[in-house]
Amino acid sequence: MTISRTFLSAAVIGAVALSTMTFSATAQEANPAVEARQGYMQVMSLNIGVLGQMARGNTDYDAEAAQIAADNLVTLNQINQSFFWPQGTDTDTIEGTRALPAIWADFAGVTDVSTQYATAVEGLSGVAGDGLDAMRAALGSVGSACGACHDDYRQPR
């Protein structure tokens, strides 16, 4: 288990690092912190998507895949994100982000939502491999926590 967690952590860090690598002049001008946090969110989204596809019945429930995705979310949540969120990387200051200035103005609110999310992914990880109904129920709490953050701190598309 330790080896797989270590490997997973290294893979996640590598994926986030790769997402920040750019090859065009325009992309090179982008803020690396914004690119890193967007890469981090993409990795989260991929894992939530695996679970969501099963929950909606778009793919067959696979206990092993569900558990891996849920465990990945827990591992991702253990990454200290402080480097992803420097002042001046909000929608009012730069282009290429959907992070609202409220993130920096309402630290207590962000902390509360982050705590809700941490609790939700831990709960999901505890039951993801125990059957579709258990996974679905726990995934709802994760979705609520994600939605709470997006509603208050992310600019709509």
CATH assignment at residue 143: 1.20.120.10
- Position 29 scores a pLDDT of 72
Distance CA 20, CA 30 (A): 9
pLDDT less than 50: residues of the chain:
1-3, 6-7, 10-11, 14-28
- Position 25 scores a pLDDT of 36
Give the domain extent around 68. 2-153
- Torsion-angle region of residue 57: left (phi > 0), alpha (psi -120 to 50) or beta? left
Distance CA 47, CA 135 (A): 13
- Position 5 scores a pLDDT of 54
- Position 4 scores a pLDDT of 55
Number of domains into which the chain is organized: 1
Distance CA 20, CA 43 (A): 13
